[in-house]
Amino acid sequence: MSDVYDIFILGGGINGAGIARDAAGRGLKVCLADKGEIGGATSSWSTKLIHGGLRYLENYEFKLVRESLKEREVIYQIANKITKPIPFIIPHTKNHRPKWLIEIGLFLYDNLGGKTVIPKSKAVNLSKEYSGLLKEQYTNGFQYYDLQVDDKQLTKLNAEDAIKNKARIIENNKVVNIEIFGNFWKTSLEDGQTIKSKVLINASGPWINETMKNIIKVNSNKKIRLVKGSHIIINKLYEENIAFTLQNDDKRIVFVIPYNKKYSLIGTTEVEVKSPDENKIDDFEINYLIDCVNKYFVKQLNKNDIVETYSGIRPLIEDFKEASKVTRDYIFDLNTKNKLPILSIYGGKLTTYRKLSEKALNELSKFLPMNTNKSWTDKKKLI
C-alpha cells in the first residue's frame, strides 16, 4: 500500500470511466475499481442514444437540453466510430400535444445547442413517405435527428484511454470498506488489496447511497429515487432506417429504434423501485411497451415477438415529482469529512458524462496537486 493515488473512483460506469480518463489525461494518478466489468450495469442498459432530451423542454429544463445538445455534437466528433445520426419520426394527430407546441419544441431543439452538423427538423407526410407502416390516422408528423451509440463501448473506450494515460482500472473486485488512514482514504477490496488516495469519488450510480452508508460510513445529504427503465428487443418491425418517438396516452414517450441491423429496440418504461438490484422487466412494463407500439403500427406485436429484454436502474435526484418529470440533470455532493474530500455524483445521463467529468475535476481542483482547469477531452478522439 505504498503508492498514494490522487483520486480513487468507486464505480466503472460512464461517469466513473469519464472522470478517470479526464483526470489521467491531466497527469493525475488515478485508480478506479468496480465490482463488475467496466460499463456492465446501468451504463449498458440505456436506450443507446446521445440526445438532447427533446421531452425535457416540456419540463423547462433548457439548461440541461442546451448542455446535452452541445455534448451531442462533441461526442459525435470524438466518438464517430461508435455513433451515427438517425432520424426520429414523431407521428401526430389532434389527440396528442398540439402541433404548435411540437413545432416550438423542435425549433428550440434545432437551435439551443448552437452550430451543429446534425440535420435540422422538418415536417413529414407519413402517408406518402412511409405508406403502409403506420395506421391510417397517422398521416402527418415531424422528423428530427439524434445519435445512436454503443453505450457499453463508449464506457470501455473512456476506460481504455484512461489506462493509456497510466490510470489503474480494477474490474470484478468489490470495495468492502473505506476508512480514513492518517491523511488519506484507505480503500479495501474484496481480494485483500488496499489502496490509499487523497480524494475519493463515489460514482456508483444507483448504489450511491448504499455505498455512502455501508462502505464509506458517511451520511449523504441527498435523497434519490430509483427508477427502472425497461426495454424489449424484437425482430425488426420495419425495414426503414428510421426511429420513432411515440407519444403515449399518459404523455410519456416510447422509442422504437433500429438495433443491430436485425432488430428493433423499444423503450423505455419508468417504474419506481426500492432496490438498485430490481433490474428485471415485469409484465406490466412489457404490456405497456407493446400496447403503445400497437396503437401506431399496422403490424401488431405480442409477447411472443420478444427476443430479449433488459432493464436499468437510474438514480434520479428526489424532487417529489412523478417519475417522468424528475430531472435527468446531475449534481455533486462534496463532503470534506476531516478535510478529506469525497465527491458523490448524483444523477446524470449518458450524453452529458464528458461535461460532468470536467466539472467534477474543477470541483476538486483545490484538493489536487495540479491545475485541473485545463479541459482536453472535447478535442481528443476516442479510438
* Reported confidence tier of residue 321, pLDDT bands at 50, 70, 90: low
How is 226-279 classified by DSSP, letter by letter? EEEEEEEEEE-S-SSS-EEEEEPTTS-EEEEEEETTTEEEEE---EEESSTT--
| pLDDT of 318 | 76
Measured in residues, the chain has a length of 383
8 Å CB contact between 36 and 371: no
| pLDDT of 372 | 55
How many of the other CB atoms lie within 10 Å of CB of 8? 26
DSSP classification of residue 185: E
How many of the other CB atoms lie within 10 Å of CB of 96? 17
Whole-model pTM?
0.94
Task: For the chain, give the mean pLDDT.
Answer: 93
Q: What is the pLDDT of residues 196-240, one digit of tens each?
A: 999 999 999 999 999 999 999 988 778 888 999 999 999 999 999
| pLDDT of 322 | 56
Give all domains of the chain, ordered by start, each with its CATH number.
4-43+152-222+328-367 (3.50.50.60), 68-149+225-325 (3.30.9.10)
Q: What is the pLDDT of residues 148-184, one digit of tens each?
A: 999 999 999 999 999 999 999 999 999 999 999 999 9
Per-residue pLDDT, averaged over 106-130, amounts to 95
Comparing 378 with 3, the larger pLDDT belongs to: 378
Comparing 317 with 165, the larger pLDDT belongs to: 165
Q: Is the pLDDT of residue 1 over 60?
A: no
**Torsion angles phi and psi, residue 68, rounded to 5:** -65, -40
Q: Is the pLDDT of residue 325 over 70?
A: no
Per-residue pLDDT, averaged over 254-280, amounts to 95
| pLDDT of 251 | 87
> 149 to each of 50, 373, 376, how far by Cα in Å?
6, 28, 21
8 Å CB contact between 154 and 82: yes
Q: Is the pLDDT of residue 327 over 70?
A: no
